[in-house]
Structures are given as structure tokens and as C-alpha cells.
């Protein structure tokens, strides 16, 4: 669920961290639900006040959720829980320290396939290791302060878990109502794409 509150200027504000003061309205955390609430003018009714609602509110929320994910990735990197580069990711998989994989959306499919195979060889196909493919190489590079990041591995730790939690929320927000979860079947690793 996503909470929205009325700002001092009368503009509707997404309260993703659930900490802003004032009366709030809750909407199911999916882009299509937020867009439908804007279309039906549900925020004005729920807040019992005239609210200035941006027509692109669903895209604004998506941007904020993406920003939270990338900030969490930067924190995980500072905590030493992110390894970048194909060879280093492969070595981390061999050592058995990998919590999950991160791959740029605009990266070549071949590299990601090879890393997934290495992950399955090391942990088995039913390991449940998540694979995040929600961001471009530029977004990953900016978050990690490196150039041309295509592949990364998350090393076990609280900061890496927090990043995955944010990614689950963003993936749920972007998914359609027919989707029921992160994984398509029990044997597949959750993929956030």
C-alpha cells in the first residue's frame, strides 16, 4: 500500500516511508491502481479536501520508488555488499557468498545467461537467488559511482537485503494485476524485471 497526504500547498504528496504528518489516503501499491485513483478523483474524496493531483502521479511514484532502490544499492555498496564486473561476480558466485544478481536492462543477454548458469551450478536451480533487472547501466553506474556497470552481485548482509526489499516493492508496483508474485514457479529464482 502507498500512502498519500496533502502538502501545505494543497498538492498531493506520495508518502512512501509512511512518516509525513496529516490525514492520508492509502492506495494499493500498483501503478494501474494509482492511475485509476487519479482518473476517478478518489484522492479529493478520501482526503475530504481539494487536492491538486498531478496527472502523471503514477509515473512520479515509479520514479520515487526507483530512487529509493538505487539509494539502497548505493548504501549496500558502501557496506561492501556489492561486487561489480563479470569476473568478480563469477568469483563471488564460486565462493558461495552471493545473495542475488543485478543485471542492467540494456546489457547483453549472453553475460547474464552465463552468470545465471554459474549461479545454478553453485547453488542449484531451486536456490531462490533473486535476479534484479530493473535498471539501466547508466542508473546502476550512477548509484555505484562506477563507469559502465552491467553485472553486479549482492553479498549477504542487511544492506543488500534492504535493496532487495525495495526492488520487490518496485517490481510489485510495476506489475499488472494478473501477476501474483516475484517468481513464476517454485523452481525459478525470483526475477525483478
Same domain, 24 and 85: no
80 and 49 together in one domain = no
Q: Are residues 113 and 82 in the same domain?
A: yes
Q: Are residues 69 and 128 in the same domain?
A: yes
> Based on the domain organization, do 93 and 185 belong to the same domain?
yes
Cβ contacts of residue 109 below 8 Å, gap of 6+? none
Can you give the residue range of the structural domain that contains 27? Answer: 2-54
User: Model pTM?
Assistant: 0.85
98/36 same-domain check: no
Nearest CA among 30, 150, 5 for reference residue 88:
150
Report the alpha-carbon distance of residue 22 to residue 98 in Å, rounded.
42
Q: Which DSSP string do the residues of 178-189 spell out, in sequence order? A: T--SS-SSTTSP
Residues recorded for the chain = 193
Instruction: Please report, in tens digits, the pLDDT of each residue of the chain (193 residues total).
Output: 999 999 888 899 999 998 989 888 999 999 999 999 999 888 888 888 888 888 899 999 999 999 999 999 999 999 999 999 999 999 999 998 899 999 999 988 888 899 989 988 888 877 788 999 999 999 999 999 999 999 999 999 999 999 999 999 999 999 975 444 443 333 445 676 6
CA distance 5 to 47: 8
Amino acid at each position: 500500500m502507498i500512502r498519500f497526504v496533502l502538502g501545505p500547498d494543497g498538492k498531493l504528496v506520495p508518502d512512501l516511508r509512511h512518516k509525513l504528518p496529516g490525514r492520508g489516503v492509502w492506495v494499493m501499491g500498483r501503478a494501474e491502481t494509482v492511475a485509476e485513483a487519479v482518473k476517478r478523483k478518489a484522492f479529493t474524496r478520501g482526503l475530504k479536501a481539494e487536492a491538486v493531483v498531478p496527472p502523471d502521479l503514477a509515473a512520479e511514484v515509479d520514479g520515487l520508488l526507483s530512487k529509493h532502490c538505487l539509494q539502497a544499492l548505493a548504501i549496500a555498496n558502501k557496506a561492501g555488499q556489492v561486487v561489480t564486473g563479470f569476473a568478480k561476480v563469477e568469483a563471488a558466485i564460486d565462493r558461495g557468498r552471493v545473495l542475488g544478481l543485478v543485471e542492467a536492462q540494456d546489457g547483453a543477454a549472453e553475460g547474464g545467461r552465463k552468470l545465471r548458469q554459474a549461479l545454478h551450478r553453485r547453488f542449484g536451480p531451486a536456490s531462490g537467488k533473486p535476479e534484479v533487472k530493473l535498471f539501466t547501466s547508466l542508473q546502476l553506474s550512477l548509484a555505484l559511482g562506477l563507469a559502465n556497470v552491467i553485472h553486479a552481485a549482492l553479498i549477504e548482509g542487511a544492506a543488500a537485503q534492504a535493496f532487495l526489499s525495495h526492488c520487490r516493492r518496485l517490481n510489485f508496483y510495476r506489475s499488472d494485476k494478473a501477476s501474483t508474485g516475484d517468481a513464476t514457479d517454485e523452481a525459478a529464482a525470483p526475477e525483478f524485471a
